[in-house]
Structure 1
């Protein structure tokens, strides 16, 4: 089971909401397994985006608030909800790089998610890719993804699991 951290960016602040509904349908039909996820909505005129973990799809979530808090803190300088502060942050950011979430990934995502847009961040596996792509057709999503090896996934869960 290969796990993928996927980021879909939408050209409107509400576009990610439709994607959540699509993911829920795909999961019900067993065409994808959602382990954890979060959504970012950045309305026009807002100083920073609103972030929320996707508990409706994943229950508690595989990674917990510390992972999403750290990732969104690095991307948007939002508060690090549930994340350790101080010296521990350096170790956590090093752990992100170890799992393929490096400066290049952070910079690409940071440049793409701007005021007036939204994004869906999701950790998935067992996706029927052709069916998933079909369902997202027409949603005007830009796709950016990082595939995780089994070792990277295990490390990510070890560092960030609640």
Structure 2
């Protein structure tokens, strides 16, 4: 089963500092990363800095288009206001069909704010209890949503990757 996890950190550099831990967990085969992105939001900045990390061992499964859409919904929508509400509602609805609903987006939006950071990870075959423990030591909090095989296929189709 594929999951989208968001590890949020209480500092702007926490996610960057935790990348080594994420790579180590992947080497230990406790997580199989399909795609990942890092967000850091220093205090005083109007918007966060985002980096597409791929699979951490090569090209990512979905690439920048997926992360751009997701980050746009999380970080830009509050700035744009109600003027684009109908279009945003349609985009949010289309992501809900792939297991990323408005409640999940809102949860991320409330946790990733100026002075914080996050690692966004699309992963398969995660041994979650063995992955959560090491991240607790970093001060990270976890948000997660699971994608069914059908939802994952829709997501890959939407962003140009052939189904598995």
Q: TM-score if structure 1 supplies the norm length?
A: 0.86
Name the structure 2 match of 1:136: 135
Structural mapping, 1:115-126, within 5 Å = 115-126=114-125
Name the structure 1 match of 2:83: none
Name the structure 2 match of 1:26: 25
**Distance in 1 between the 2:144 and 2:160 partners?**
21
Q: Secondary structure at 1:57's aligned position in 2?
A: coil
Structural mapping, 1:60-75, within 5 Å = 60-75=59-74
Task: Tell me the CA shift for residue 89 of structure 1.
Answer: 7.5
| CA shift in 2, pair 1:66/1:107, >3 Å | same
Name the structure 1 match of 2:82: none
Name the structure 1 match of 2:12: 13
Q: Report whether the alignment pairs 1:158 with 2:138.
A: no
**Distance in 1 between the 2:121 and 2:160 partners?**
15
Structural mapping, 1:99-110, within 5 Å = 99-110=98-109
- The count of corresponding residues between Structure 1 and Structure 2 is 152
Q: TM-score if structure 2 supplies the norm length?
A: 0.85
List alignment gaps of at least 5 residues for structure 1: 79-87
| CA shift in 2, pair 1:161/1:23, >3 Å | farther
Q: CA RMSD in A?
A: 2.0
Q: Secondary structure at 1:146's aligned position in 2?
A: strand
